[in-house]
Structures are given as C-alpha cells and as structure tokens.
Structure 1
Amino acid sequence: MQTTPLSPEDPAQIGGFELLGRIGQGGMGQVYLGESPGGEPAAVKIIKPSVVDSTTRLRFAQEIEILKTVWGARIAQLLDADADAEQPWLATEYVEGPDLGKHVVTHGPLPALLVLSLGATLAEGLGYVHKQGLLHRDLKPANILLGPNGPKIIDFGLAVFAESSASLTAANTVVGTPSCMPPEQANGVKPLTSAVDVYALGTVLLFAATGHLPYHANNIHVLFHMVTDPATVPDLTGAPPELLPLLTAMLSHDAQDRPTITEVVQQCRGLVEVQGLKLAQARRRLTTYTAAPPQDFPTLLSVPVSEDTTPPPVPVVSDSATTPVHAEQPTEPVGTDEPASDTQPTMFLAAPQRAPQPEPPAQPASTTPVPQSTEDQQDGQNVPRRPHPSGRPPARSLRHSAQARRTAQQLREAYAARAAF
C-alpha cells in the first residue's frame, strides 16, 4: 500500500513533523506519513476536527499515556504527541512493511513454521505489555505490521489496564473487532484479563495459517451470537495439523482454559525446534518470506545451515511499491462508510453495521529477484526479496529530507491539478 497525495485541506506540518502523504483514515482520524525535523520517518495520527470533543480528547490522551508506558522491540514506539492541541495528534515509529491482513490476502496463508515464529514473537511482545499491567484488547491482522526487523504491534487506542473496570465507553456498548474478540469481551465482562489477548492472538495466528478467522457471518449480530455461544465451535478449517492443539486451546470459550502468554511462547518454540531450527532462525525466515515471492518459500524451508557460514553482506535495495506504510487505524464507530479491512474494523457495537466485503486478492508480483538483506543471509539462505510488481527498478525510500520535501510538493501539485475546485 502506497501513500496518497495530501489534499488541499491537509496541514503541511503538525507538531514539527512535515507531512508527506496520507497513509490511511478511519472514523476518528487521519494517519499521515511524516518526517521529523531530524529526518526520522513517522506515522502521524491527527483527530478529525469534526469529532474533537471532550470524550474524544480524553480517549486520545489515554492512548498517548498507554503508548508512553508500553515498550519492547515488538511495539511501534511513541515519538511525540499533543492531546491538548486544537487538532490532537500523536506520532509513532514508522514501520516499513505490510500489515498481516493485507499480506495474507495478497500472497496467501503463511506456512506453519512461519506461523509458529509469528506466534512466539507476538506472544513475547504481548508479554511485555502485560507486565506493564496493560491489555491491548484489539489485536487483529491489520494491527500487526510485518517490518524489516520482524513483526510489530500497533494501535493501542483500546488498550486498558488489566485490573481496571472503568471505561470511557457508554453503558451497554462493546468495543473491539467482533471476529477477533473473545467471548468475555463480547459479553461486556469487566474487568478483563490477559486471556483476552491470548484469544485474539489465536485468531491472528489462525488467519495467518488459513486466511480466515474463527467466526464469520454477514450480519454483525449473528457474528456476535456465534462468538458468545459456547456451543458454536471456532472454524479451524485448513489449519495445519501441528497447529491445531495450540489454536484450539487459545480459542477456548472459557478464559481459564486458554494457555498463558508465556505458555504460548514455549509451545511455539518447542514446535519450531522439533523441525530442527532455532526460533531466531525461524524469525529471520519469516522476515525474509514477507519480502520474497511466495514461490521462493521452498528455499526457506531447506535443511538448516550453520549460522557460522554467514556470507558477506549484500546491499539492500528498498522497494517503495512493496513497502507499505504504517497502517495504524484509529478506532471506528459502527456505521462509518470507510472501506472494510481484511477483518471487521474496530467498532462500538451500538447499532447494526453493513457486513464488510472481503478484499479481492491483488495480482501476483513479478518474480525478478533483487539482492537479499544481511539478516536473511545470516540464516545461510539465498532468498530474493519481493520484486517490484511492475518490473521497474525499485524506488528509493522517502527517508531523506530533501527528497521527501520534493516528493511532498509533487504530491500536492498533482492533487491540485486533478481537483475540480
């Protein structure tokens, strides 16, 4: 996914961050690709003026405070923010990579080995979040970015403190993504426990392995009934046999029957080691796979090679067309007209919503190889990165200030030339 040009009503900068293009939008705000005065890329979220009120500011301020609290290599870090500005905004680390949902829709499910690597990495990241006494509450494929240094978790807009029963949500209103929501969260149980994130991670891993979520229905109320009904078992069709016991446990209807986040890490690690690999090797293969053509995956699953045979580094060529932006999605209320993602958007269940339509799969990319990254070579594999879909040489990254400013100006001029006003 590429950035789109700034529109005439978009600010050129906010909080010292120069805005270069639009990344995505939701019911509450717009996310931009920005650049700090020092040239650091950032994902900048700005709340729409039409929805700025005291409740929105309070919720946004809570998200900022939570982002100040969470830490770890698997979390997109907060750079700066101002909840009291005329237009509240926050800037987070920009992750160059697709979100899991779009990657699976475009290239198909991940092999079991890489799903296990993804599971261990994300579970460990969530473990650090839980150590801060926090819950994510809205883990879904669209909130997992597949960056060059491994997957990262984004969007803590619905995160809460685990022991808190307080809420900024109106009474009798449930927030979250229905198809990834555990039964107790869908039923409005408070306080929630870390088991809600274990369940949501199970839905993410199932989607990564099969391309579908545990429950699916065309009507949002039918979907909620399926999630909360103990007699309706999750759909694990297509899940690799070695993953079935773990997924079944993580998606248990009763929270006490699910493994802890630490047990998820241990089980994923054990299943990877049974295949003769270290977990670090499997993670490197996951990172390489998300940037390489799917048909090259057999190379990634070849017999493990000693990591002492690391070949000399080869320069990495960036690819703007297959380096999607940090698609952080603000919380969206039911009834918005925004396009549906690979899963239902985060929502406030206060009214029926049109059933989301699945995204059509993108056309397969060209298979022209390009140089591999140094980290990929450390696993002893000669695996090319995913090429540019058009076959043209990959574009340079927007990391350099001069080029970024020129590009931003060109985007604005292009938009103005096409505008009907």
Structure 2
Amino acid sequence: MHTTSPLSPEDPPEIGGFELLARIGQGGMGQVYLGESPGGEQAAVKVIKPSLVDSETRLRFAQEIEVLKTVWGNRVAAFLDADPEAEPPWLATEYVEGADLRKHVAAYGPLPAVLVASLGATLAEALALVHKQGLLHRDLKPANVLLGPNGPKIIDFGLAVFAESGSSLTAPNTVVGTPMCMAPEQANGVKPLTEAVDAYALGAVLLFALTGRYPYQAANVHVLFHMVTDPETPPDLTGVPAELSPVLASMLAHEAGDRPSLPSVVQQFRSVIEAQGLKVAQARRRLTALTSAPPAPAPGTTAPAVQAPSPTPADATTVTTPAPGGSVPTPADVPPPGPAPHGDHDYTPTRKDVPAVPAPPADAPPAPPSAPAPRPPRRSPQARRTAQQLREAYAAKAPF
C-alpha cells in the first residue's frame, strides 16, 4: 500500500488553472491530485494517463462530463470544471472533507438504527432529486457516500446514465455497478434500467451501515450472481431491528416494481425517527456530529493509518454479464463473506478531533498584537496532510 505522496518531477505544476499540491492516488486509467483554484478552493483533479488517451477515450470522457454537468443538489458533490480535449484530459470535482461510509463502519462499527434512518432519509431525498433530473446513479455503494462535516454527500456519478435512455457509456454485454449493491435486473443486464435500481442500492448501503454486511455475500462471483438474481434467495436481513426491517426489505425486493418510490422511503424513515421522539433535523445533526467526530474504534479494532486509496475487490465497478455459456469475472473480483475488507479504507479525523485551545482568564492582560501568520508554502507537509483526507472515491474507483 502506498501513502499519499508529494508531486514527482514528472507531474505538471498546474492543470486547467488548478495548482497541484500533492498526489492523492493512482488508478488503472488515471492519476488524482489535490488541486487548488486561483481563489483558494480545493478540488480533486483527475487526469487520464497520456498513454491511454485516444479518440474513443476522449469521447467517452466527454460524455461522462456532460452527464456530471447535469447533476446538482445539496447532497451531491459538485462538478467544478473539466476539459476532455486537453493534453491530458482532466476533471475537477468538489473536495469533501470526511470519511466515506465504508471507512467509517470498518473503523468504528455500524451506526445506530435511528442514525441509519436519518442517513436513509437524507440519501433517498438526494437520489429523488437526481431522478427528477432524469438521471440514475447506478453505482451507489458505501464508498460513494461521504460523511462530511455538513452531512452526507453522494459522489462519483461517472457511471450515471439518463433514466429514459437504453444506451450506455459502457461496452455491450457488460454490467456496470458494484456486485454487492447491484439490483437483480442490473445484474441480469436488463436495459434500460429504472429508478428502482438506485432504491435497491440505497437499501444495500443502509444495510451495510446498520450491520456491516451486504444483502448477499459470497466468496465466488458465480455464487454471488446466482444469489442476487435468484428470486427464491432472499437478502440476509439478520440483525436488522424491527423498526427498520419493513422498509429495508421492501427496498431490497427482487422485483423492481415491488420496491417503494424514494419519496415514500423518505417518509418511512421519517416515521422511524419521529417514533424515537426526535425531529428529522435533530437526527441529522446527531448523525453529522457522530461521523464528523467519531468515537473510539470498536473493540478489537484500531483506526488504521492514513494512506492513499487503492483498488479493492469490493469496489470493482465493471463486471461481465454472466450470460449462459459466457465467461464471468474470476472469484478475485468479489470479496469473501463477512464484513467488508478495510485494509485500504481508513478514517481521517476532521478538524473537530483537534482539542480546543483553552481561553485565557478573564483578568489576563491582552496579548500583544502579532503579525499575521504567513501562508504556508504550497506543496508543504500541511498540504500533503490535507491531501491524505481526500476520499478513495476520488481516486482509483473513478470510471476513467
């Protein structure tokens, strides 16, 4: 595993007006940097490897950028800028400070039921807004939910497609998504997909937040796909409390038509929260407070050291449709049963973890004025530490 590193002599000093501060990580098709805009805004700048740039790659990248430009909402990490015709092509997205859901659960354990209900209401409302824009996410998973200081945000819409379109940016005979969070019709290669695939994926994400498990888990991808697509194999809801079991079971229904609409999901989670004597806003504040300043690691676990993101089997996003007589991914593409592996998913404390400086006594003489602290030099150790906080979803998991 490689830690986040400073820029190498081969790295450009800036891309598209963003000054590059450090390397975040490297995926199969791109390098990701921590960048800073002329006005001081931080961004994740993704760059396609020059060796992979051709006309087809540029076309696909341009199509994905056009999709990203249409996605907006308070709970969606924002598209900032991009240039698919540049040398090399690049994309800048909003920086969100905070761990992703998978890292948080791996390091600190599952969330309390009422906070899972809050997370569910927030994300369901966000996805419903995305659907109103005519888009599907198609790859919602714990690693694509950032637990920021202002609440959760959804990231990585690189696999999104227009809901009414039967076309896709992916090659024929492929299924795009993460197997453990993939709806049965998506695993079967049905096109066009509907909003129900995101409802299913959200149910899988919330089940993971609540239990640390996915609806279906297997050591072999053949078995996993069979479990997901078999109508006679129900999802594993062991450990789900009674107040959340009905809504999660309905979201994970095998038939797309049996799943509730996302506005209905919001109302069901709202009822769960209010039954606990809380208002929805109170529950969200509790969720944000917990995930922004998490408790000590769960017994028997330690918060791993911060490191650069790297690909893991659980985050594979493109798998071959298991057609009769055709080939399917190797077992290495799917993690073994049990809690998701988290060796490469670490929690980075936020500023709330830093102890406050005590105030001086009331009768203390005023401190002499001091000159403003100079701005730290760019590409400093502080900048590199900040870079380490950028989430894995900004790195190797991107579709490019």
TM-score, structure 2 as length reference: 0.80
- What amino acid maps onto 1:290 in structure 2? T
CA distance in 1, matches of 2:44, 2:166: 31
Kept in 1, the 8 Å contact 2:137–2:198? The answer is: yes
CA distance in 2, matches of 1:205, 1:268: 11
| Distance of aligned partners of 1:213 and 1:293 in 2 relative to their CA distance in 1, 3 Å threshold | same
Kept in 1, the 8 Å contact 2:6–2:379? The answer is: no
CA distance in 2, matches of 1:49, 1:208: 38
User: What's the offset of the Cα at 1:99?
Assistant: 0.6
Deviation string 1:344-396 (CA, Å, 9 cap, x unpaired) is: 32123275241447224999999xxx99xxxxxxxxxxxxx4459xxxxxxxx
| Distance of aligned partners of 1:401 and 1:50 in 2 relative to their CA distance in 1, 3 Å threshold | farther
User: What's the offset of the Cα at 1:31?
Assistant: 2.0
CA distance in 2, matches of 1:322, 1:363: 5
User: What's the offset of the Cα at 1:14?
Assistant: 0.6
Superposed, 1:371-390 pairs within 5 Å as 385-386=352-353
Moved more, 122-131 or 8-17: 8-17
Superposed, 1:301-320 pairs within 5 Å as none
Match of 1:63 in 2: 64
Match of 1:162 in 2: 163
Match of 2:316 in 1: 345
Kept in 1, the 8 Å contact 2:104–2:347? The answer is: no
Match of 2:135 in 1: 134
Query: SS where residue 287 of structure 1 aligns?
Result: helix
Kept in 1, the 8 Å contact 2:306–2:348? The answer is: no
Match of 1:54 in 2: 55
Match of 2:30 in 1: 29
User: What's the offset of the Cα at 1:269?
Assistant: 0.7
CA distance in 1, matches of 2:162, 2:263: 19
CA distance in 2, matches of 1:226, 1:68: 36
Unaligned runs of 5+ in 1: 298-320, 330-337, 372-384, 389-399, 412-421
CA distance in 2, matches of 1:78, 1:225: 37
Kept in 1, the 8 Å contact 2:107–2:304? The answer is: no
Deviation string 1:35-55 (CA, Å, 9 cap, x unpaired) is: 001110011111122322333
Moved more, 211-220 or 133-142: 211-220
Match of 1:417 in 2: none
User: What's the offset of the Cα at 1:161?
Assistant: 0.4
2:179 paired with 1:207: no
CA distance in 2, matches of 1:87, 1:365: 30
- What amino acid maps onto 1:340 in structure 2? T
Moved more, 62-71 or 261-270: 62-71
| Distance of aligned partners of 1:189 and 1:89 in 2 relative to their CA distance in 1, 3 Å threshold | same
- What amino acid maps onto 2:250 in structure 1? A
Query: SS where residue 123 of structure 1 aligns?
Result: helix
User: What's the offset of the Cα at 1:230?
Assistant: 0.9
Q: Please, what is the CA RMSD of the aligned residues?
A: 3.3
- What amino acid maps onto 2:153 in structure 1? K
CA distance in 2, matches of 1:197, 1:95: 22
| Distance of aligned partners of 1:138 and 1:408 in 2 relative to their CA distance in 1, 3 Å threshold | same
From 377, 380, 394, the counterpart of 1:407: 380
CA distance in 2, matches of 1:181, 1:201: 10
2:255 paired with 1:284: no
- What amino acid maps onto 1:131 in structure 2? K
- What amino acid maps onto 1:5 in structure 2? P
CA distance in 1, matches of 2:102, 2:49: 25
- What amino acid maps onto 1:86 in structure 2? E
Match of 1:229 in 2: 230
Kept in 2, the 8 Å contact 1:97–1:323? The answer is: no
Match of 1:359 in 2: 342
TM-score, structure 1 as length reference: 0.76
Match of 1:308 in 2: none
Deviation string 1:57-79 (CA, Å, 9 cap, x unpaired) is: 22221221122111110011111
Kept in 2, the 8 Å contact 1:98–1:323? The answer is: no
Kept in 2, the 8 Å contact 1:72–1:128? The answer is: yes
User: What's the offset of the Cα at 1:7?
Assistant: 3.2
User: What's the offset of the Cα at 1:216?
Assistant: 1.0
- Calculate percent identity across the aligned residue pairs: 68
Query: SS where residue 403 of structure 1 aligns?
Result: coil
Higher relative contact order (CA 8 A, sep 6+): 2
Query: SS where residue 25 of structure 2 aligns?
Result: strand
Match of 1:274 in 2: 275
Moved more, 189-198 or 51-60: 51-60
Match of 2:105 in 1: 104
Deviation string 1:277-297 (CA, Å, 9 cap, x unpaired) is: 111111111110012243699
Unaligned runs of 5+ in 2: 321-326, 356-372, 385-400
CA distance in 1, matches of 2:343, 2:71: 35
| Distance of aligned partners of 1:2 and 1:345 in 2 relative to their CA distance in 1, 3 Å threshold | same
Match of 2:260 in 1: 259
Kept in 1, the 8 Å contact 2:21–2:378? The answer is: yes
Kept in 1, the 8 Å contact 2:107–2:297? The answer is: no
User: What's the offset of the Cα at 1:80?
Assistant: 0.8
Query: SS where residue 233 of structure 2 aligns?
Result: coil
